[in-house]
Chain A
Amino acid sequence: MWSESSVRESAARVVPVAATTKKVSPMSGFLKVEQLAKAYQADKPVFADVSFAIDQGEFVCIIGHSGCGKTTILNVLAGLDTASSGNAFMDGREISGPSLERGVVFQSHALMPWLTVRQNIAFAVKSRWPDWGKAAVNTQVEKYVALVGLSQAIDKKPSQLSGGMKQRVGIARAFSISPKMLLLDEPFGALDALTRGTIQDELMSIVRETQQTVFMITHDVDEAILLADRILLMSNGSETPTGYVPGGMAEVVVNPLPRSRTRAQLHHLDGYYDLRNHIVDFLVSRAKAH
């Protein structure tokens, strides 16, 4: 396991990355989240006082253990869930429900199994532009299917595709509606390491090309380091001797690695291990308790 070896390494190192942690002003940014909290039991909120901002064109990953509320935050941003308190704004407008301005890639790809790849994406395109004719819809569909390299499988049903291909279709569907922002809920969680690597590369190049603003949940530290400009670290709620402490945003790590990084040379970059160790340390020792 990577976590164990990294813990050993980090013990011998001073961690300078921690210095890059900064308090993000909640007043700036394209997407703003202010004092968000979610409580299923009133006295024990899952997380509280979560505030952060994302600039246009920024790629932000959020990391935390299961149950810390990452998916809830993403669902609030998607408009699929509501927070117990706090607000989220995008482009100056409060997020109060689902919107075509935010494309969502679901963890379980969420393709409709009775439709082909073409029909699945056309469903989204027609929702975005109801007035478009058949030809225009088809052009848009084929463009985005080609973007994820699935042109030869465009008329197949999802059941005939591999897990990686299905997730590519999910990504193509989210991009095809040209959203102002992309929300990805652990999109590669169910994929094997090789497939995951390829799709990460693809996602990175599409995002760079389209200057897309992205908010993504992940469990994979390397994935976060490769893709994200900033990494949000979340801690779980926990019982302490002084009482219950809700989970929340523990730290925001700015990725110091050059934006031109690729998966192949990532681990040779200066500062990669420091960054990685810092995040792993957080997950191992600090994420579960404040």
Chain B
Amino acid sequence: MKAASLNLRAAVVSLLIFVCFIGAWQLATTGPSIGGSSAGMTAEEIEYAKMMGKDPGAEKSSGFPPPIEVARASWEHLSDPFYDKGPNDKGIGIQLAHSLARVGLGFVLAMAAALPLGFLIGMSPLMQKAFNPFVQVLKPISPLAWMPLALYTLKDSDVSGIFVIFICSIWPMLINTAFGVAAVKREWLNVASTLEVNPVRKAFQVILPAAAPTILTGMRISMGIAWLVIVAAEMLVGGTGVGYFVWNEWNNLSLTNVIFAVLLIGVVGMLLDLMFAQLQKAVTYVE
């Protein structure tokens, strides 16, 4: 009862914030025209001004689209998301699918590398110490800094994009897996030892479920970073994807579409995070 009313009140406040934001946006974009008036000008002077692109009669705006225009554009994009009219004009659904595919592929590759390596580092103090300097040095490198090297060695912009996602998602997963594995309670390992459980079964049935919540936290952080990075990477490599879409619409000077894409990136990012939150909930245990 108490929780429900709290949720309700929070929803009302959220709505209020939203309305205020939209209102402010609306007000800011429908300011008075900045064009001069035509009063006191001869017909020739008006004609001259028009020819110079300074039509004194025309309604001038700030150029920033009001909310209603963004809403209209969003509706247009979302109602036909999968059209394909050549390389520079694809539906938003197709762009999104390209981005998600790159993120997904890079993420899965990172998982395939980070989980086994994390297990190794977590289980062996020697490996922990041996790998630590490399992880510490490589971790803070911006994933985009790898881009030139990736483009040069991989010779393919698409593969380079996937590589960038791989390199940025690997660290949180690796570190969390190693930490989760190292922190598995001694008593559970002792139980496994006294039951003569073989190493493979121990890894999958004791260590993995015990470390799963920590590992999933790492994966969730990785996915967040991957989604941040993919937009920037696609702006650089171009071709397809939401990042490319944003850059392309900026070149088209269509701020309406840019705003739409920015909102969409936020919503998709949130959905990805929610997905991992659900997974995390599924593997969390109460002691």
Contacts and interface: CB of A to CB of B under 8 A. Distances in A.
Interface of A: 78-80, 97-100, 102-104, 106, 108, 110, 112-115, 123-124, 127-128, 157-159, 177
Contacts of A97: 193
The secondary structure that dominates the A interface is: loop
A106 B191 contact: yes
Interface stretch (B158-166, B204-212, B218-226): B204-212
B197 A127 contact: yes
Nearest 7 CB-CB pairs, A to B?
A: A127-B195, A110-B187, A159-B286, A114-B285, A98-B193, A113-B285, A98-B194
Contacts of A108: 187
Contacts of B212: 114
B191 A80 contact: no
Contacts of A98: 190, 193-196
Nearest to B188: A112
B195 A100 contact: yes
Contact of B194 (A103, A115, A157, A159): A103
B80 interface: no
The secondary structure that dominates the B interface is: helix
Nearest to A158: B287
B285 A159 contact: yes
A27 to B, nearest CB: 28
B206 A112 contact: yes
Nearest to A170: B191
13 contacts: A79-B193, A79-B194, A80-B194, A100-B194, A106-B191, A110-B191, A112-B210, A114-B209, A114-B212, A115-B209, A123-B195, A127-B196, A157-B285
Contacts of A177: 195
A78 B191 CA distance: 10
A78 to B, nearest CB: 6
Nearest to B187: A110
Interface in B195-238: 195-197, 201, 205-206, 209-210, 212
Contacts of B196: 98-100, 127
B277 to A, nearest CB: 18
Residue from A78, A114, A157 whose CB has the most chain B CB atoms within 10 Å:
A114
Contact of A128 (B193, B195, B283): B195
Nearest to B283: A114
Given A114-B209, A123-B195, A128-B195, A106 B287 contact: no
A101 to B, nearest CB: 9
B94 to A, nearest CB: 41
A177 to B, nearest CB: 7
A115 B210 CA distance: 10
B187 to A, nearest CB: 4
Contacts of B209: 112, 114-115
Contacts of B195: 98, 100, 123-124, 127-128, 177
